[in-house]
Chain A
Amino acid sequence: MSVAILHHGEYVIASIQSDLSDREVMALRDDLANRVGERRARGLIVDVAALDVIDSFVARALRTIAETTQMRGAETVIVGIQPDVAIAMVQFRLNLEPLRAALDLDEGIQILDRLLHRGSPDAR
């Protein structure tokens, strides 16, 4: 599958490398739910910059990923939504609740850091 999965401290980073078929999207969803548990990850970042279409199916899968990982004790941030993809999603009126999104990987990591280590100065 064309998704690179990296581990960065207590975070799992899934970086999608190319357009995915529906079946690959479902496989990714299942894989990430497992992986978050196996690695005892506290945060998950899904980088969708390589996706040039996010339709209702992909949006639903991303939402499911976020909800599932939350039940497994981790927070999810989606990063890298392309500007034209964002326009299409808004015009389509895709509901992404309760997804958290950030511009890029750096910002995604900052959001997770803030969420998970709120108030502890020597966090990480």
Chain B
Amino acid sequence: MRDEVRVTIGADEDLVSARAEARALADHLGFSRTDATLIATAISEIARNIVVHVGTGEIVLRAIEDERRRGLAVIAHDAGPGIRDVQAALRDGYAGDSGLGLGLPGARRLMDEFEIVSEPGCGTTVTMTKWHMLDELEMLRERRRRG
């Protein structure tokens, strides 16, 4: 399995493939079933925002690592009108009674790191990461493998 997967988001059905791809990559990277579900749920929300508010965009799923841990980074980008007030969009219930507006704050709670960069006219990029801690045994094995 490749360590980077790109999913084009343009329609409703693309959410289904984005969720499936996220789960497959998370499994491949050794995430627990629960973590894979948290990641897939966060991606579903971000992908829906693209479909509903912009129409098209792209989500990149990427395996990342540092010395201690492995992770899965999600980079969602669209070239839409941008979010005028990012801080407000991250508050619960921002979109009012429509029931929308749960997506961004909810997704943020499911992931370890979460960042939105958005400028009016330049689109929006959401970057979010879930880390998978290696336990001691795995770290020893990893060290040996690398020599």
Q: Which residues of B contact A111 (CB under 8 A)?
A: none
Q: How many A-B residue pairs have CB under 8 A?
A: 67
Q: Which residues of B contact A57 (CB under 8 A)?
A: 44, 48
Pairwise interchain contact B48-A91, C-beta atoms closer than 8 A: no
Pairwise interchain contact B41-A92, C-beta atoms closer than 8 A: yes
Q: Mark B4-48, 1 if CB is under 8 A from A, else 0.
A: 000000001101100110010000000001101110110011001
Q: Does A96 contact B (CB under 8 A)?
A: no
A32 to B110, CA, bound (A): 31
Q: Which residues of A contact B44 (CB under 8 A)?
A: 53, 55, 57
Q: Does A85 contact B (CB under 8 A)?
A: yes
A92 to B102, CA, bound (A): 9
A52 to B19, CA, bound (A): 9
Q: Mark B53-71, 1 if CB is under 8 A from A, else 0.
A: 0000000000000000000
In the complex with contacts A21-B12, A55-B44, A56-B45, A87-B37 CB distance below 8 A: yes
Pairwise interchain contact A56-B102, C-beta atoms closer than 8 A: yes
Q: Does B96 contact A (CB under 8 A)?
A: no
Pairwise interchain contact B33-A56, C-beta atoms closer than 8 A: no
A side interface size, CB within 8 A: 22
In the complex with contacts A53-B44, A55-B45, A55-B48, A91-B19 CB distance below 8 A: no
Pairwise interchain contact A88-B38, C-beta atoms closer than 8 A: yes
Interfacial residues of chain A within 52-68, with CB under 8 A of chain B in the complex: 52-57, 60
Residue of A nearest to B98 (CB): A60
A2 to chain B, nearest CB (A): 11
Closest 4 CB pairs of A and B: A84-B37, A92-B106, A84-B34, A56-B102
In the complex, 11 of the A-B residue pairs with CB atoms within 8 angstroms, ordered by the A residue number, are A19-B16, A19-B20, A20-B16, A52-B37, A55-B103, A56-B99, A60-B99, A82-B37, A88-B38, A91-B38, A93-B106
